[in-house]
Structure 1
Amino acid sequence: TILFVGRMDPLKGLSNLLDAVSILQPRNDFQLLVIGGDGKNETEYQKMLDLISDNNISSLVIPLGSIPHEDMYLYYNAADFCIIPSFYESFSLVALESLSCGTPILSTDVGEVRDMIKMCDGCRITEDNSPVTLARNINDMLKYDNGQKHYCPSMLTAHYGWNTITEKILSVYNQVVSSDTESERSFLCI
């Protein structure tokens, strides 16, 4: 099972992912769960449904819509890997959530993902998010997955734990408070 989590937005690369699933259709030994769509972008949600229908991949793609956040760990834990085919991410909370459940990631090189996964086994960065490249990487992830979860909690705690984040925020506050001029303060706040 492959998991996609994200809002219905063209920047998330879902249409390329669905085209990649269409390329992989002859495999027919996996399913893609799509979590997202909160009713705010019905046009994009309908485009996704149309693409699933047009590519004849409804047996491989299960659109689940919006899922309560407190239940998301169930889906991350059930997935073989999580895919992030985005054109752009600033941070990628999805990557952090997936890794915290021990679920490997296949992602484009966006946001902080490369730094998050560099110490985690079983994760992969794609060269781009074209359907052909995604299909090749999905095929490789499915072929070589041994069903093991790939925990990297020490890395997550070291870089993204509450203590680390609190220290970083306090450091910025201290720089602002100790700066000598108004222009330095405004620069540090940016």
Structure 2
Amino acid sequence: MRVAINLLTDDPDHPSGAHWFWTRVIPEMAAHLTEDEELHLLVSRRSRAMHQGYGPGVHYVTFPWSNERRNLRTLSEHLYAPVRLPLKGIDVFNTLIAPMVKPAPALVAHFKTMHAFTAPEAISPAARLYRRIGYPRTAAVADAIIINSESLRSEVEKHLDVDPAKLRLIPEAVDHELFRPGDPARARQRLAERYGVDGPFVLFVSSLWPYKNCDGLLRAFAIAKPDLAGHRLVVVGPGRDTAYVSSLHALAEELGIADDVVWVGGVPLEETVHFYRAADVFVYPSHNETFGLTILEAMACGCPVVTSDCSAMPETAGGAAFLADPDDPRAIGAAILRACEGGEDLRTRGMARAAQFTWAQTAKSTLEVYREVHSNRKAQR
């Protein structure tokens, strides 16, 4: 069985969460390949360097462009992949959106979000239109569709005309070698030296899109601040929506908490570990998530978590976080206070919850889907 995995949607200059996912899953799958199984990675000349050292069972199919040239990359996926993959003897093709001319291999679609429908403001108009056209067709022609939560299952079934039997639920996971408990004092010292963050703080980690609800957190923090005993709010994440970021700064001024909010901006993923270890509580009041990986990252580092009571957040938290209505700043503020006052039980439950999610299990389940669709195709011949 030869499996091709489409990695062209990543930009070598700006690696995404999808890149992080595949760099964890591919080596785990490679370790469990049988002698007659191979993985073939669709990469560009520039992006190939991002995917090295996976082992002898992993090969490359080089395309002219990846997402640094989005339009040309998309064109090559639709025109080149249907020709190139059969020539390579590919049996299973894992991709986000199926080519217009469906290639001969069995097709596994890998949906991570339905943001084109549920959070359209987070996607450019062109990408939004492309996904709204591409997702329904992909769901129709796919042999199987991998999703990462029951919440995403409900969104897929709501927005797409899909056969429920095609859906395969495979949760994402935590890199436990990176995200693990550490010395809070050392973490605080590092943050003070590198980022000017000192003293106790409440933490928010996310790209700043409106649906992530940082504005709701600012309102909640302003309400809880009199009882927070000198805590500041630390916001870690790039400002993807510049208009929204400007409105957040204006709101902090309006609420009288501007001096108590530290806008760190984007940091390397490995640096977020120190923020989780040093924080008194991690707050994630998003309106919509299909998994909510940062919840598990915080838990794995021993940080108490407050998150939303909707979408995928309760499913991911699994009873190991305080939940609050993301539309109710007072409820979020009250949950923050509860976590700060008695977070030890949350720490223990959170670490146990995060330990249930491993990349080895995610990879094993993904490989089983490839084997399943390949076997079904062989039986149909």
Alignment TM class, shorter chain as reference? 0.7 to 0.9
Aligned to 1:75: 275
Q: Read off the aligned partner of 2:358 and give its amino acid letter.
A: G
Paired residue secondary structure (2:220): helix
Paired residue secondary structure (2:227): coil
* Cα gap change, 1:137 to 1:157, in 2 (>3 Å): closer
Based on CA coordinates, which of the two structures has the bigger radius of gyration? 2
Aligned to 1:131: 329
Moved more, 135-144 or 97-106: 135-144
Aligned to 2:307: 107
Match of 1:5 among 199, 202, 205: 205
Moved more, 40-49 or 12-21: 40-49
* 2:255 equivalent to 1:55: yes
Paired residue secondary structure (2:367): helix
Provide structure 1 residue ranges, at least 5 long, that are not aligned to the other structure: 185-190
Q: Read off the aligned partner of 1:66 and give its amino acid letter.
A: G
After superposition, what is the alpha-carbon deviation per residue over 1:97-132, rounded to whole angstroms, capped at 9, x for unaligned? 111111121000345432443364xx2122444112
Aligned to 2:166: none
Q: Alpha-carbon deviation of 1:146?
A: 5.0
* 2:364 equivalent to 1:167: yes
Q: TM (normalized to structure 1)?
A: 0.82
Q: Read off the aligned partner of 1:32 and give its amino acid letter.
A: L
Q: Percent identity?
A: 24
Moved more, 82-91 or 96-105: 96-105
* Cα gap change, 1:147 to 1:32, in 2 (>3 Å): farther
Report which of the two has the higher share of strand.
Answer: 2
Q: Alpha-carbon deviation of 1:60?
A: 2.4
Q: Read off the aligned partner of 1:162 and give its amino acid letter.
A: W
Measured in 1, the distance between the counterparts of 2:341 and 2:279 equals 15
Mapped contact 2:204–2:282 kept (Cα < 8 A): yes
Aligned to 1:32: 233
Q: TM (normalized to structure 2)?
A: 0.43
After superposition, what is the alpha-carbon deviation per residue over 1:18-77, rounded to whole angstroms, capped at 9, x for unaligned? 111122232252211111124x42211111111111111023221111112121101000
Provide structure 2 residue ranges, at least 5 long, that are not aligned to the other structure: 1-200
Answer 1 or 2: higher relative contact order, Cα 8 Å, separation at least 6.
Answer: 1
Measured in 2, the distance between the counterparts of 1:15 and 1:94 equals 18
Measured in 2, the distance between the counterparts of 1:118 and 1:147 equals 14
